[in-house]
């Protein structure tokens, strides 16, 4: 009888603590939302969309499943929010580059280096994109934000190319979208396959020396292509 009473009291304490935590989460929605996004990012990056489990995100974020659905509505909506947050970080970083206020060749070199270091430190985003490309962009197509994320960058890159042509340092007829895909792809491919390539090519592609060499190679490839 005493043991049963103790169990009832413990259950009441847990229930009260859970309700208190839920109230705090609702009172601070932005902080709670960010905690869920952080936990979801790790889950989706490690397991992809199909393998990710909401129960694991609950465990990581230490909020109830009801709160996750309250803020995001569904697993798919949560995945889209994770993708949008990653694209938003990339957009802010690229908008801050100031490509139009420096000489064209320096602007291209700066963009190459920025994207190289971005993909180097953004393994989670690589995980999201691998999963989303498997699904043929099914989820991100539902995002209005992501559809316009590169617009300003492409406009700035186009202006840099025009300036380079006028100054005689770049050749004419370069498509800014094709160029951006090449710049990003040369780094993305390196970091998305870094460990398998290191093994099959018998070379440590994660070393500081290898990274410096790869960045220089990427700069030379892109600038060599742009020369008249």
Query: pLDDT tier at 30 (50, 70, 90 boundaries)?
Result: confident
pTM for the full model?
0.80
Per mean pLDDT, which range of 2-16, 105-119, 155-169 is the poorest?
Answer: 2-16
Q: What is the dihedral of CA 170, 171, 175, 181, to 10 degrees?
A: -60
Q: What pLDDT does residue 24 have?
A: 52
Phi, psi of 222 (to 5 degrees): -70, -50
Domain ranges in the chain are 1-73, 74-228
- Whether 187 has a pLDDT exceeding 90, the answer reads yes
Query: pLDDT tier at 144 (50, 70, 90 boundaries)?
Result: confident
What is residue 96's three-state secondary structure?
coil
The span from the CA of 217 to the CA of 219, in Å, is: 6
Q: What pLDDT does residue 26 have?
A: 53
The span from the CA of 87 to the CA of 75, in Å, is: 19
The token pair that represents 217 in the structure block: 């190679």
Query: pLDDT tier at 17 (50, 70, 90 boundaries)?
Result: very low
- Whether 27 has a pLDDT exceeding 80, the answer reads no
Q: What would the mean pLDDT of 6-27 be, rounded to a whole number?
A: 49
The span from the CA of 100 to the CA of 83, in Å, is: 28
Q: What pLDDT does residue 145 have?
A: 84
Q: What pLDDT does residue 188 have?
A: 95
**How is 135-190 classified by DSSP, letter by letter?**
TTTTTGGG-HHHHTTTHHHHHHHHHHHHHHHHTTSS-S---HHHHHHHHHHHHHHH
**How is 81-92 classified by DSSP, letter by letter?**
HHHHHHHHHHHH
Residues 6+ apart with CB under 8 A from 29: 71
Question: 1-73 architecture in CATH?
Answer: Orthogonal Bundle (1.10)
- CATH fold of 74-228 reads Tetracycline Repressor; domain 2 (1.10.357)
For the chain, the average pLDDT equals 88
The token pair that represents 59 in the structure block: 């465990």
- Whether 58 has a pLDDT exceeding 90, the answer reads yes
- Whether 140 has a pLDDT exceeding 80, the answer reads yes
């Amino acid at each position: 009888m005493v043991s049963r009473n103790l169990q009832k009291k413990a259950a009441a304490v847990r229930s009260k603590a859970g309700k208190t935590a839920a109230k705090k989460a609702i009172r601070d929605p932005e902080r709670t939302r960010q905690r869920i996004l952080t936990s979801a990012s790790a889950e989706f990056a490690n397991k992809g969309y199909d393998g990710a489990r909401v129960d694991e995100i609950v465990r990581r974020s230490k909020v109830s499943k009801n709160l996750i659905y309250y803020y995001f509505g569904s697993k798919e909506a949560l995945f889209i929010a994770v993708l949008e947050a990653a694209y938003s970080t990339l957009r802010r970083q690229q908008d801050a580059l100031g490509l139009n206020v420096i000489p064209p060749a320096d602007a291209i070199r700066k963009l190459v280096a920025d994207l190289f270091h971005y993909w180097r430190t953004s393994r989670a985003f690589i995980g999201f994109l691998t999963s989303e490309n498997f699904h043929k962009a099914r989820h991100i197509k539902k995002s209005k934000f992501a559809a316009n994320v590169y617009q300003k960058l492409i406009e700035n890159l186009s202006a840099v190319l025009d300036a380079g042509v006028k100054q005689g340092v770049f050749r004419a007829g370069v498509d800014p979208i094709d160029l951006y895909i090449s710049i990003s792809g040369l780094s993305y491919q390196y970091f998305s396959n870094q460990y398998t390539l290191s093994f099959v090519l018998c070379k440590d592609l994660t070393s500081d020396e290898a990274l410096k060499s790869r960045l220089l190679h990427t700069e030379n490839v892109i600038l060599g292509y742009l020369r008249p």
